[in-house]
Amino acid sequence: MEYSKESIHDIVLAQRKFFRTGKTLDVEWRIRQLLRLKQALLDNKKQLQDALYEDLRKSPMEAYLVDIGPVIVEINEIVKGLRKWAKPEKHFSGFMCFPSTETKVYKMPYGVSLIISPFNFPVILTLGVLAASICGGNTAVIKASSKSAATTEALRKLIADTFPEKYATVIGGGHDVADICLEERFDKIFYTGSPQVARHVMEKASNNLTSVALELGGETGNWAIVRKDANLKDTARKIAFFKLCNAGQICININQIAVAEEVAEKFLEELKKQFVKQIGKNASDNPDYPKLITSKVYDKCEKIASDYSEKIVFGGTGNKEECKFSPTIIYPVSPDDDLVQHELFSPILPVVPFKDSEVDNILEIIADREHPLAMYIFTSDIKWADRVMATQQYGGGCINEVCLHMMVKGVPFNGTGHSGMGAYHGEWGFREFTHPQTVLKGSTRFNLPLREHPYSGVKGKMKMALLKVFEK
């Protein structure tokens, strides 16, 4: 379907008109829409799995595990908590506001939201954000990725069959269509993607001073730190699983590993064993192994493998026709190397050795670079790990685990700085898509003239004395 400036403008106007009817303010109505979305997801599971296989060669199991199932869990959490979250808060106004005694905070939706979703997890990063928008009481225009065209079409049909266009709709197309959307006046924009495009989104949003949430991968990538006292077999098993997932095309995936040189060789052997155990000697021949989204990304992997051919200790091969590139370990890599100073978003895995006694130097390097979206620490020294995780700046992370922090109910997910702004999931998504409005309920009786002139003389002194009493 072709989209023009006029057709998109008409969609936004229709959604704004629908929002102003006040229908979305009803919490019970929102819950019904969330349940409709959940049922549509269940009814279209096979179509979405087929589309994800076409776009990314995700097996039905992986598609459900990481892209479809988590949306159902998210909707369940929202439905369970929404009535409580949306209830206006009551506050005592305080003696400074006498004779008012009651103040309320209403959680109001922004209005018409724009959701720009990526190709790598096109279901959860579209419908998961849509669930947050719905629970906040907004309407939604969704600009889905043109790179994952089959899934975008499946999502377009799913939403069109579930909701009227004036409430929620999916728009396909490339960057030109995204730019047309960004020229419109929205009340909330949620973008998932790269920091480079995020700058453009923020620039466009600034024209209308639109509130923006950004979920980004991080400019310089996510680190995993493996200390010499880590359980190497367990660590390798988890990292191998994570790097194989979606062929490394994950915003929270490990971009590079810093491993204590005292155990580096042993760890690498364990990691290689785990890759072979989980996907086979040649991952690109395994039908369960996902493909890269475009030939351009494949060519990038191939170039890196060529440039670092002497340091490849595992992988380095692929199937260009299938657009599959094997997980590739490059070792040793300096922390100053260009390879570990930008997000790779691929199955390439550089490994940086360090002396365990000098781990603080690695932490200093990470802190000096742009804040990552995720950080992972593997060690038996939990006290040290707790201290590091409580003092470094990053989006979220795990100790002796990978990725599961974003699956925990009731906790926020997103980055900071170059890895994002804002947060969502559960109640945090509700907060992201609502604005708290404070309303004080005044009184027409017993009003004291404290705030009124005169401020000097005897009356002024009396007022000042009373104000100091009220301040306590």
Q: Which two tokens stand for residue 414?
A: 């997103």
Which of 246, 254, 212 has the alpha carbon at shortest distance from 420? 212
Choosing from 215, 270, 343, 432, the catalytic residue is 215
Backbone angles phi, psi at 396, to 5 degrees: -170, 175
Active site residue 370: no
DSSP 281: S
Contact between 422 and 214 under an 8 Å Cβ cutoff? The reply is yes
DSSP for 238-279 reads HHHHHHHGGGG--TTS--EEEEETTTHHHHHHHHHHHHHHHH
DSSP 64: I
**H/E stretch holding 354:** strand 348-354
Which class for 81: exposed (0-12), middle (13-18), buried (19 or more C-beta within 10 A)?
Answer: middle
Q: Which two tokens stand for residue 110?
A: 């922004």
Active site residue 403: no
Q: How far apart are the first and last CA of the chain?
A: 64
Which class for 282: exposed (0-12), middle (13-18), buried (19 or more C-beta within 10 A)?
Answer: middle
The pairing of beta strand 374-378 with beta strand 223-226: parallel
Contact between 329 and 312 under an 8 Å Cβ cutoff? The reply is yes
Q: How far apart are CA 429 and CA 73, in angstroms?
A: 14
Which of 385, 375, 382 has the alpha carbon at shortest distance from 416? 375
Contact between 243 and 347 under an 8 Å Cβ cutoff? The reply is yes
Choosing from 251, 301, 323, 398, the catalytic residue is 251
Question: What are the residue numbers of the active site?
Answer: 215, 251
